Amino acid sequence: MALHEAKNMNTMPSFEKSPASFSFLNSLQKESYHRDGYLVLPQFINETICRLLIDRANMLIANFDASSIKVIFSTQDRRHTKNQYFLESGDKIHFFLEENAVNAQGELNTDKLYSINKIGHALHDVDPVFNCFSRMHKIACLIHDLAIADPLLVQSMYICKQPFMGGEVNCHQDNTFLYVKEQPITGLWFALEDANRENGCLWAIPGGHRIPLKSRMLRDKHHQICYETYDHTPWPLEEMVPLEVSRGSAIVLHGLLPHMSKQNLSSRSRHAYTLHVMSGQHEYAADNWLQRPADMPFRGFW
Ligand code: FE2
């Protein structure tokens, strides 16, 4: 789908200066979000937009030269090169493979389209279609209703959760990876396909956003990934509930909410797009793994 078609869609952005005049969430929804730490919004985007984003991601994958990362996934110093590729993705569109997608020589075991785990982490700034979607007025209004002042779009990911091999994502808090002290980073998770227990939907602990931050993943002074752990208590995984949603749904995730997704062993993919947003009135940690060059700072909705 071409960009001009995306722009013509009725839910695509109108670039008003402020969303303040439009309230998206009602009081019950706000109450629910503050109580549970997450909020499910069914039918947030229509099927045409879901299809448009899937088609766009498939086009990006089709145009991506898989041999360019064969080296990364096949060298002996695999962890180091994979980490460097990850650390350099904050202002780019990089492609990350499923764990089981490559053999010992770094050759893909299956078709390229079914080998990608996720695409990240600056789709919202680099790709025109994802930029257009990410800055739609409806999303700006939602963020405004969540009381995120002077919002900045920090990170985006397109997650494929491939059939039969989509990997598990362990229980975590998003603020572990994108640390903002004063007001934890807010995640928006858009289901582009139905997500249920069979194909690896999100799971979360209702009210778990009251659990203090357990750990941080940092970029150290040598530009290596390292971790700090503040609390070794195991997650109360028995309190997890599945967030099964239809395509087009959006899920808002508080930055301290413990959440996870299980393996996708089904025959159906579970494509999703995520955005992480912070308030520009707060400080983005200088030792977060994701850093932007001076000439490409985080941007807001307009
Ligand atoms: Fe997450």
HEC string of 114-160? HCEEEEEECHHHHCHHHHHHHCCHHHHHHHHHCCCCCEEEEEEEEEC
Residue 70, pLDDT score: 65
Distance, CA 253 to ligand 1 centroid (Å)?
8
Q: What are the structure tokens assigned to 194, written together?
A: 């139905």
Spatial separation of the C-alpha atoms in residues 53 and 57, rounded to whole Å: 6
Q: What are the structure tokens assigned to 262, written together?
A: 């299980």
Among 101, 47, 102, 76, residue whose Cα is nearest residue 271: 47
Distance, CA 55 to ligand 1 centroid (Å)?
24
Q: What residues contact residue 30 under an 8 Å CB cut-off, 6+ apart?
A: 145
Q: What are the structure tokens assigned to 207, written together?
A: 């009210």
Q: What is the CA radius of gyration of the chain?
A: 19
Write the pLDDT tens digit of every residue in 63-85: 998 887 765 665 445 677 788 89
Q: What's the average model confidence in pLDDT over 184-212?
A: 98
Mean pLDDT of the chain: 90
Residue 6, pLDDT score: 44
What are the beta bridge partners of residue 41? 250
Place of tokens 């695509």: 12
Higher-confidence position of 255 and 101: 255
Q: What's the average model confidence in pLDDT over 92-96?
A: 95
Distance, CA 260 to ligand 1 centroid (Å)?
7
Distance, CA 189 to ligand 1 centroid (Å)?
9
Spatial separation of the C-alpha atoms in residues 48 and 58, rounded to whole Å: 15
Residue 24, pLDDT score: 86
Distance, CA 8 to ligand 1 centroid (Å)?
31
Residue 285 pLDDT > 60:
yes
Least confident of 96-100, 116-120, 172-176: 96-100
Are residues 37 and 253 in contact, defined by beta-carbon separation less than 8 angstroms?
Answer: yes
Q: What's the average model confidence in pLDDT over 38-64?
A: 97
Distance, CA 241 to ligand 1 centroid (Å)?
15
Spatial separation of the C-alpha atoms in residues 22 and 140, rounded to whole Å: 10
Distance, CA 170 to ligand 1 centroid (Å)?
9
Q: What are the structure tokens assigned to 57, written together?
A: 């991601």
Residue 99, pLDDT score: 78
Among 236, 237, 219, residue whose Cα is nearest residue 228: 219
Distance, CA 242 to ligand 1 centroid (Å)?
14
Residue 11, pLDDT score: 44
Are residues 50 and 193 in contact, defined by beta-carbon separation less than 8 angstroms?
Answer: yes
Displacement of CA 18 from its chain's centroid (Å): 25
pTM for this model (two decimals): 0.91
Q: What are the structure tokens assigned to 169, written together?
A: 């994502």
Distance, CA 158 to ligand 1 centroid (Å)?
12
With b for 16 or more beta-carbon neighbours within 10 A and e for fewer, the 25-53 pattern comes to beeebeebbeebbbbbbeebbeeebbebb
In the chain, pLDDT over 70 holds for what percent of residues?
90
Task: Give the environment of ion ligand 1: residues with CB less than 5 A.
Answer: 174
Among 55, 79, 272, residue whose Cα is nearest residue 166: 272
